[in-house]
Amino acid sequence: MSGHSKWNNIKARKGKSDAERSKIFTKIGREIMVAVKEGGANVDSNSKLKMAIAKARQFNMPNDRINSIIKKNSEVDNSNFIEQTYEGYGVGGVAVVVKCFTDNKNRTSSDVKYAFDKYGGSLGTAGCVSYMFDNKGVVVVEKGDGFDSDAAMELAIMQNAIDCEDEEVFTVYAEPNATSVNDMVKAFEDAGYVILSSGVEMIPQNYISLNEHQLETFNKMIDKLNESDDVIDVTHNLEEEDGE
**Right CATH for 82-128+206-236 from 3.30.365.10, 3.30.70.980, 3.40.109.10, 3.40.50.300:** 3.30.70.980
Separation of alpha carbons 7 and 244, rounded Å: 11
Per-residue pLDDT of the chain (244 residues; tens, 9 = 90+): 333 455 555 655 555 566 677 888 888 998 898 899 888 999 999 999 999 999 899 888 999 999 999 998 888 777 788 889 999 999 999 999 999 989 899 999 999 999 999 999 999 999 999 999 999 999 999 998 899 999 999 999 999 999 999 999 999 999 999 999 999 999 999 999 999 999 999 999 999 999 999 999 999 999 999 999 899 999 999 997 654 4
Amino acid 27: pLDDT = 87
Residues present in the chain in total: 244
Asked: is 6-75 a CATH 1.10.10.200 domain? The reply is: yes
CA atoms in the 13 A half-sphere facing the CB of 189: 13
Q: CA gyration radius for the chain? A: 18
Q: What share of the chain is helix, strand, coil (3-state, %, to 5)?
A: 50, 20, 30
Contact between 109 and 86 under an 8 Å Cβ cutoff? The reply is yes
Q: Sketch the domain layout of the chain as residue ranges.
A: 6-75, 82-128+206-236, 132-204
**CA distance readout (Å), 172 to 53, 133, 152, 189:** 19, 17, 9, 13
Separation of alpha carbons 110 and 13, rounded Å: 26
Separation of alpha carbons 68 and 82, rounded Å: 21
Separation of alpha carbons 147 and 153, rounded Å: 11
- Report the helix count and the strand count for the chain, using DSSP H and E: 8, 8
Of 57, 38, 56, 54, the closest CA to residue 46 belongs to 38
Describe the crossing of helices 178-190 and 47-58 by its angle, rounded to 10 degrees. Answer: 50
Task: Establish whether domains 6-75 and 82-128+206-236 are of one fold.
Answer: no
pTM of the full predicted structure? Answer: 0.84
Q: Hey, what CATH class is 132-204 in?
A: alpha beta
Amino acid 8: pLDDT = 57
